[in-house]
């Protein structure tokens, strides 16, 4: 299986990054191929809604091409994000918005499945809006959404990220 992971946090030592690394290690240990993308370290412009993608694909020439290539060949996409003001991080949302070429174009290659890894600092983060946005993204791009791991209370400190990710992934893959 080919897995693409998109990390929606810029904090290299944050919980989101730890979730991504744990997922990557688990899949690799089981012989799967994994590509991990850190959009915060890439050059990815905002979608301009220019409409060119209706005919020619996205005409913006930037690092998003790496993510498009991986996405078109992957079997599973993992979207990860911290909750920022009850929504996904702007880092992840910027990447998702660049998938506008997939809207109304069922012929473009895409993973069969998508899952999400989310975390929030408070005791009861609002994960609902972020999950709705990710589900809408899956409908647009033709993927089946298989659920999310939601880790709350990260601001109190979390030391079992790896175990939680492994339990979650083992139950659904
Ligand atoms: C701009 C911003 C907005 C945030 N908004 C929320 C929020 O709405 N709900 C919440 O529970 N935590 C919120 N947090 C806390 C983060 O979700 C939490 O610290 C998370 O663990 C950060 O993940 P990271 O370290 O992987 O980047 C916010 C943090 C930032 C920086």
> For the chain, which residues make up each domain, given as ranges?
2-172
* Alpha carbon nearest to ligand 1 atom 28, residue: 84
Q: In CATH, what class is 2-172?
A: alpha beta
Of 9, 16, 84, 123, the one to substitute when testing ligand 1's pocket (max ligand atoms within 8 A of C-beta) is: 84
Residue 172 pLDDT level (bands cut at 50, 70, 90) = confident
What ranges make up the beta strands (E) of the chain?
A: 2-7, 33-37, 76-82, 113-119, 144-151
The pTM of the full predicted model, rounded to 2 decimals, is 0.97
Residue 107 has a pLDDT of 83
Residue nearest to atom 29 of ligand 1 (CA): 84
Summarised one tens digit per residue, pLDDT across range 34-87 is: 999 999 999 999 999 999 998 888 999 999 999 999 999 999 999 999 999 999
Ligand 1 center to 5 CA (angstroms): 20
Nearest one of 69, 60, 16, 15 to 38, comparing CA atoms: 16
DSSP 8-state secondary structure symbol assigned to residue 45: P
């Amino acid at each position: 299986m080919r897995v693409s992971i998109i990390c929606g946090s810029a904090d290299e030592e944050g919980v989101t990054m730890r979730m991504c690394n744990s997922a990557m290690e688990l899949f690799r240990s089981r012989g799967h191929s994994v590509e991990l993308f850190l959009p915060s370290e890439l050059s990815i412009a905002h979608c301009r809604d220019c409409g060119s993608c209706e005919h020619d694909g996205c005409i913006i020439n930037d690092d998003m091409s790496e993510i498009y290539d991986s996405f078109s060949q992957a079997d599973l996409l993992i979207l990860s994000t911290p909750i920022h003001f009850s929504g996904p991080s702007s880092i992840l949302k910027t990447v998702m918005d660049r998938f506008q070429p997939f809207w109304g174009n069922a012929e473009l290659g895409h993973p069969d499945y998508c899952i999400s890894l989310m975390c929030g600092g408070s005791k009861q983060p609002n994960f609902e809006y972020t999950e709705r946005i990710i589900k809408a993204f899956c409908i647009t791009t033709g993927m089946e959404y298989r659920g999310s791991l939601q880790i709350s209370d990260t601001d109190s400190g979390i030391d079992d990220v790896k175990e939680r990710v492994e339990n979650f992934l083992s139950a659904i893959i």
